[in-house]
Structure 1
Amino acid sequence: MTTPPRGEDTTPSPASPADDRVHVEADGVPAADPELLGALTSGYGHFTAMQVRDGRVKGLGLHLERLDRSTRELFGRGLDGGRVRGLVAGALEAAGRRDASVRVYVYEGARTVVTVRAPAPGGPGAPQRLTSVAYERPAAHLKHLGGFGQRYHGEAARRAGYDEALLTSPSGEVAEGAVTNVAFWDGTSLVWPSAPCLHGVTMALLEPLLGSVRRPVLLSDLPRYRAAFVTNSRTIAPVTAIDGTAFAVDGELMGRVHAAYGSVPPEEVHP
């Protein structure tokens, strides 16, 4: 064994900043930006999803407000709406699209990722059959990442022949769909469940335009309601059944709902 020269400091030197960098490989190839890929795979963050038509979005201000509010809650800093609009506009231009399904993801450090895909089909959604599951999303007010539970139940519902899973508490209080909000019509008012849930942008746009209330909705209460429908950024669709409870498609109600949504002026994405 070689003896170090007298007086030489043999204490290991502190790790250099470079030693703390994450090394990430995908299919055996080092990632071009390992810090970004590390953030993307962390599962900690939030997002919003929107439909762009002719470069405009209904409720764009609500999407930007949600992104800023959630970024402050998760990461202790804001997210400038003008910057987000610029990123979305740039991604749309790069993709050569004026109509698109767009998602904006936010990760630690307010790293912002925009995805652009083909737009969802327009027009009223097809009637849906739901099945209830006892599952409540953690931090349900956030449109957060890492939604394994809701994806698991949603996929299981589709394999069982349903269109969507309806998330409920163990006591049977209805909260939301796996990827939707749900509303019920009692013949007088539109009832949105008051259990903790994500208040989606489409729900937020419709609620003040229609005779709406929020109150607890139990699975045992469902036969009392005349109709139901689900909403998200992609669709507004009537519900024809939840478990063994059937609902008629109320054409007059759905006409009012679609007319209310159609009355919302879209906002230009380009800042």
Structure 2
Amino acid sequence: MTPLPLLRVEIDGRPADAESLLHPATTAYGHFTAMQVRGGATRGLALHLERLRKATDELWGQELNGERVRGLIRHALGDTYPDASVRVYVHCPEITPTVMVTVRGPQRMSGAEQALQSVAYRRPAAHIKHLGGFGQGYYGQRARAAGFDDALLVEDDGTVLEGAVTNIGFLDDTGVVWPAGPSLDGITLQLLEPRLAGAGLPSRRARITLDGLGAFRAAFVTNSQGVAPVGRIDDTVFPVDEKLMERLHEIDAAVPWDTV
């Protein structure tokens, strides 16, 4: 999906200018989180703030106050953009981390089934939503050029990890199976996973390989923009399970919204 034009960029609560953008524009060392805002609220806000806090501590050994970040998001949205796609980037050019908030128009997954092309690539420090995603962009573009919607990242031995910008889940006779391996626990995954059992969909994590995909009845991807079915991975076809997708959408829609 092509990103919408930027509507606003603020760094530490001030409009970005050439000087304040110099460090973000010339370094790939940092991290971020992405969220959809509707009516000035988002889902999983505490998870977003905790993601940013933990990564800031791991990358620089610095504290990042969640309420400060929340206030910066609220400031960037103002009264102008109650509905938006928001990204919060953290850099540390000196001692104190800086927070950049970007605002674009709201986005949502189309819901159309996706075709994924597997590529042997594991993101470095995969548990962090870090900058410098050249590999993801490179393989995603090559997948689209080959007629797929995006790339599926796998180990050299074919162990499934994650989508280029998504998490992936599968359905078998036991319920939902998430790949076990180095990957990012997306916010939507974190919101859905503990709610699945209550909706009659037990879930677990297990090693999944490309040569074992035939054991699954369906597949789907998740990210901050929603949930969509997967219709094909390489040459393996998955019939869209309408009942599964209906339940996933119901669970997703029932997640509460947190006021920014």
Q: State the TM-score, normalized to the length of structure 1.
A: 0.85
Q: Secondary structure at the match of 1:241?
A: strand
Q: 2:77 aligns with which of 92, 106, 109?
A: 92
Structure 1, 215-224 or 35-44: larger mean CA deviation: 35-44
**Which residues of 2 match residues 21-36 of structure 1 at below 5 A?**
34=19, 36=21
Q: Secondary structure at the match of 2:78?
A: helix
1:41 aligns with 2:21: no
Deviation at 1:187, TM superposition (A): 2.5
Q: 2:90 aligns with which of 90, 106, 110?
A: 106
1:212 aligns with 2:203: yes
Q: 2:160 aligns with which of 174, 178, 185?
A: 174
Q: 1:246 aligns with which of 216, 226, 237?
A: 237
1:187 maps to a residue whose letter is D
Structure 1 runs not aligned, ≥5 long? 1-30
1:71 aligns with 2:56: yes
Q: Segments of 4+ in structure 1 off by > 4 A?
A: none
Q: Give the root-mean-square deviation of aligned CA atoms.
A: 1.4
**Which residues of 2 match residues 106-255 of structure 1 at below 5 A?**
106-108=90-92, 109-121=96-108, 125-210=111-196, 211-255=202-246
For residues 233 and 17 of structure 2, the distance between their equivalents in structure 1, rounded to whole angstroms, comes to 47
Structure with the greater alpha carbon radius of gyration: 1
- After superposition, the C-alpha distances for 1:204-261 in whole angstroms (9 at most, x for unaligned) are 0011111110010000110110000000001210000000000011011111111111
Partner of 1:15: none
Deviation at 1:263, TM superposition (A): 1.4
For residues 125 and 187 of structure 1, the distance between their equivalents in structure 2, rounded to whole angstroms, comes to 24
Partner of 1:6: none
Paired positions, count = 237
Query: Does the Cα contact within 8 Å between 1:173 and 1:219 map onto a contact in 2?
Result: yes
Deviation at 1:196, TM superposition (A): 0.6
Deviation at 1:139, TM superposition (A): 0.2
2:176 maps to a residue whose letter is L
Deviation at 1:121, TM superposition (A): 3.3
Deviation at 1:77, TM superposition (A): 1.0
